[in-house]
Amino acid sequence: MKIAYLDTIAGISGDMTLGAFVSAGFRIDDLAAELKKLRLDGFELAAKHVTRSGIVATSVEVIISEQPHYHRHLKDINEIIDAGDLSTEVKERAKKVFHEIGVAEAKVHNTTIDKIHFHEVGAVDSLVDIVGASICVEHFGIEAVYSSPVRLGNGGFVDTEHGRMPIPTPATVEILKGYPTTLGSVSAELTTPTGAAFIKALSRGVITTERFTTTEVGYGAGTREIEQIPNILRLMIGEMPSDYAVDEIVSVETNIDDMNPEIYPYVVERLLAAGAHDAYLVPVIMKKGRPGILLSTLVLRSKMDSVLSVIFGETSTLGVRIQQVERRKLQRTEKNLSTSLGNVRVKVVLVDGKETHVPEFEECKRIAQEKKMPLREVYKRLETELQGSVE
Q: Cα 344 from chain centroid? A: 30
Round to whole Å and give the CA distance between 338 and 385: 10
Omega cis (within 30) before 283: no
- Please give the backbone phi and psi of residue 388, each rounded to the nearest 5 degrees, phi first: -70, -25
CB 301 within 8 A of CB 178: yes
Paired residues of 62 in beta bridges: 45
Phi/psi of residue 355, each to 5°? -85, 140
CB 35 within 8 A of CB 135: yes
- Distance between CA 116 and CA 300 in Å, rounded? 27
Distance in angstroms (rounded) separating the CA atoms of residues 243 and 349:
9
**Alpha-carbon distances, residue 303 vs 63, 249, 258, 270, 308 (angstroms):** 36, 10, 27, 13, 9
Question: Per residue in 286-319, is it b (16+ CB within 10 Å) or e — as a string?
Answer: eeeeeebbebbbbbbbbbbebbbebbeebbebee
Is there a contact between 19 and 222 (Cβ–Cβ < 8 Å)? Answer: no
Question: Other CB atoms closer than 10 Å to residue 346's CB: what's the count?
Answer: 20
Q: What residue ranges do the domains of the chain occupy?
A: 2-242, 245-329, 332-389
Which segments of 282-374 does DSSP mark as H helices, in order? Answer: 304-314, 361-371
pLDDT tens figures, 348-381: 887 766 778 888 888 899 999 999 999 999 999 9
Cα separation, 155 vs 159, in Å, equals 13
Residue 228: helix, strand or coil by DSSP? coil
CATH number belonging to domain 245-329 = 3.30.70.1380
Instruction: Give dist(CA 231, CA 238) in Å, integer.
Output: 23
> C-alpha distances in angstroms, 122 versus 16, 200, 215, 351?
16, 20, 34, 47
DSSP 210: -
- Find the angle CA(114)-CA(115)-CA(121) to the nearest 5 degrees: 105
Please give the helix or strand (H or E) that residue 102 lies within, else none: helix 88-108
What is the rounded CA–CA span in Å between residue 171 and residue 62? 22
DSSP codes joined into one string, 107-132: HHTTS-TTT-EEEHHHHHHHHHHHHH
The predicted pLDDT at position 249 comes to: 87
Distance CA 220, CA 308 (A): 36
DSSP 163-197: EEEESS-HHHHHHTTTS-EE--S--S--S-HHHHH
**Predicted local confidence at residue 193, as pLDDT:** 93
User: Positive or negative CA dihedral for 9, 15, 20, 23?
Assistant: negative
* pLDDT at site 120: 46
The pTM assigned to this predicted structure is 0.68
Stretches where the chain sits below pLDDT 70 are: 66-70, 119-122, 162, 209-210, 242-246, 352-353, 388-391
